[in-house]
Structure 1
Amino acid sequence: MIFLIKKKHAVIAVAVFVTILVGIFAIIFMNNNSKGVFNTYNVTNKPIQQGSVDSNYIAFTCNVDWGNEVIPEMLQTLKDKNVKITFFVTGRWVKEFPDIFQLIVDEGHEIGSHGYQHLDYGKLSLDKNLEQIKKAEEEIQKITGEKPTLFAPPSGSYNENTLNAASKLEYKTILWTIDTIDWRQGSTKEVIVDRVLNKENHKGAIVLMHPMPATAKALPVLIDEFRNKGLEIGRVSDVLK
């Protein structure tokens, strides 16, 4: 009888131990799973600010939501210099000015998404981020016939929703290494050139610009200066290789 009682107590003890052990594993699993989601946001979906530092390229990007009068001059310079860069365009702009967008496409430049409207994406919900990126994609595809794979949020503003939306739609989120700040008052050709050349880490860098008159004047100077330094000017995809 005593043996049976002890055996019964042992069985109960084992059952309690197993229950506790299962509970511990469940907690560990949930913690790891939540960390996995967090890590996906921080690592997998993390915005790209610079390409490979071993690259012989420096990427020029031009964010377009306005500046129609400057784009032809920039395209002519790029053609004369035999340079292809990345244009991030809003879907709204593409819809309103398909002929100008077609000029960019015809010149063989890389096309990325700048969202549909120039909004503060860092304040948008997941659904709104998805909507803006998807609508831009549809407008771009109508002309290019191809889905873009690079996304540059307007003003560089983003939150977790933005990154997760971009990842879900199979985009890489792109920011910049060097900002020309060409929209700021007083940003002359000389100021823009100095602002870019005085930065370090040009290899694999991503240079942000807009279709501004001073930028169009600075563009050929920057191309020549970087080529003199042994770097070729290219697209975002060139520095990500």
Structure 2
Amino acid sequence: MLSLSIGFFQNPYTNSYVDDMKQTSVMVANYQNDLYQEIIDKKIEHEIAAQDAQIHKIWKAIPGYNGIEVDVDKSYEKMKKKGIFNENLLIYRQIKPKVHLSDLPPEPIYRGHPDKPMVSFAINVAWGNEYIPNMLTTLNKHHVKATFFLEGRWAKENPEMAKMIVDAGHEIGNHSYRHPDMSKITSASIREELAKTNDVIKATTEQKVTLFAPPSGSFRKEVVDIAAEMDMKTILWTVDTVDWQKPQPHVLIERVVSKVHNGAIVLMHPTDPTDKSLEKLILLIKEKGYSFGSVSMLLDEERLNINLRKESKE
């Protein structure tokens, strides 16, 4: 009787249903495996090799630039819900180059990596105090971080203004102590100019200096070597505002915008034409598709891509 009751309540389709579910699960697993394999097969189409730092015959030391590769597992997790390949859902990670700036012998740096769509303002300061506050306001308004290379004597005489620059979030570099022609002074004088300036900046702003901009761009190889011994990179430029000649703002703007490029270092000073040109200059450079960063940010190997940065943090 008991067996009859069990038989009476047994679903005649139970075995078939279970079999169908098992078969469906296998099919889904196989399809997902196919999706996983498709991501593997197609990932090479979306990858970019890292580029090593190098000594260029013209531009001297050039930083490396991260490559990107597809994170297959994270990409699969993004796509598995719909079960179809979608290149817009690929997740990337950055790959470091094998050779870094720190691996290269000391050489001057004129620019960032030619594939990095970033521009840096290098602002040499030995005078022009009256224009600095307004320039800082403009930079802050447009979220631009620059590198201010301070003459040591100026920093000593203007400690509050030096602190103002640091408090605004900008990078500080060394611009010698008395603005000499670095190519013509003795080895001992080179060391004194660099060390004295670093000491003043450290005492005034609590910032450790890692970058040196020789006055007027004048140097000899020994200057670069001594700066390197003091853990500083020697920085030059590829685009010059020539603002010390007091050009009309439209002349300065055209001069810069017509020459700006990936990895450009733009030389400027706190002058009246630069102050009057700065906002329009920033806007026009941004319109051309460039971002802004300090010189150290420009030399960093991080690949510039907003989506990549967001995705790499997920």
Asked whether the two chains share a fold, i.e. TM above 0.5, the reply is yes
Q: Flag the structure with higher helix content.
A: 1
2:200 maps to a residue whose letter is E
Aligned to 1:31: none
Larger Rg: 2
Which protein, 1 or 2, shows the higher relative CO under an 8 Å CA cutoff with sep ≥ 6?
Answer: 1
Q: For 1:161 and 1:126, how far apart are their aligned partners in 2?
A: 8
AA matched with 1:193:
I
TM-score, normalised to structure 1's length? 0.79
User: Match of 2:272?
Assistant: 213
Task: Note the C-alpha offset of 1:147.
Answer: 1.6
* Aligned-partner Cα distance in 2 for 1:104–1:81: 16
Spell out the pairing of 1:87-126 with structure 2 (5 A cutoff).
Answer: 87-126=148-187
Q: Residues 126 and 164 of structure 1 are in contact (CA less than 8 Å); yes or no, is this contact kept in structure 2? A: no
Q: Specify the code of the residue in structure 2 equivalent to 1:215.
A: T
Give per-residue Cα distances to partners, 1:74-112, cap 9 Å, x unaligned: 001011111110000011000001111111011010111
Q: Would you say 1:46 and 2:107 are equivalent positions?
A: yes
CA distance in 1, matches of 2:181, 2:267: 18
How far, CA to CA, are the matches of 1:107 and 1:179 in structure 2? 24
Aligned partner of 1:220: which letter?
E
Which AA in structure 1 matches 2:185?
L
State the distance in 2 between where 1:97 and 1:145 align: 15
Residue of structure 1 in register with 2:292 after alignment:
233
CA RMSD of aligned residues (A): 1.1
Equivalent pair of 1:47/1:173 in contact (CA under 8 Å): yes
* Matched-pair contact (CA < 8 Å) for 1:124–1:161: no
Deviations 1:197-225, CA, capped at 9 Å, x for gaps: 1115x111100000001101111111101
Identical positions, percent: 46
SS of the residue corresponding to residue 129 of structure 2 reads: coil
Structure 2 CA distance for aligned equivalents of residues 130 and 101 of structure 1: 22
User: Aligned residue for 2:220?
Assistant: 159
For residues 113-170 of structure 1, what are the alpha-carbon distances to aligned partners after superposition, in whole Å with 9 as ceiling and x for unaligned?
A: 0011111111011111011000000000012223200000000010122112101111
> Which residue matches 2:255?
195
Q: After the TM superposition, which residues 68-87 of structure 1 pair with which residues of structure 2 at under 5 Å, given as runs? A: 68-87=129-148
- Equivalent AA in structure 1 for residue 271 of structure 2: M
Q: Contact between 2:162 and 2:205, CA under 8 Å: does it hold in 1?
A: no
Q: Which amino acid aligns with 1:235?
A: S
For residues 144 and 211 of structure 1, what CA distance do their matches in structure 2 show? 19
Is contact 1:189-1:218 (8 Å) kept?
A: yes
Q: Deviations over 1:53-73 (max 9, x none)?
A: 111210111000000000011
**In 1, Cα distance between the equivalents of 2:118 and 2:205?**
25
Partners in 2 of 1:173 and 1:208 — Cα distance? 14
- 1:139 matches 2:200: yes
Normalized against structure 2, the TM-score is what? 0.61
Mapped contact 1:62–1:210 kept (Cα < 8 A) = yes
Q: Tell me how many residue pairs correspond in the alignment.
A: 197
The amino acid of 1:196's aligned partner reads V
C-alpha separation between the residues in 2 aligned to 1:190 and 1:146? 35
Taking the aligned partners of 2:226 and 2:186, their CA distance within structure 1 comes to: 9
List alignment gaps of at least 5 residues for structure 1.
Answer: 1-42
Match of 1:150 among 207, 211, 226: 211
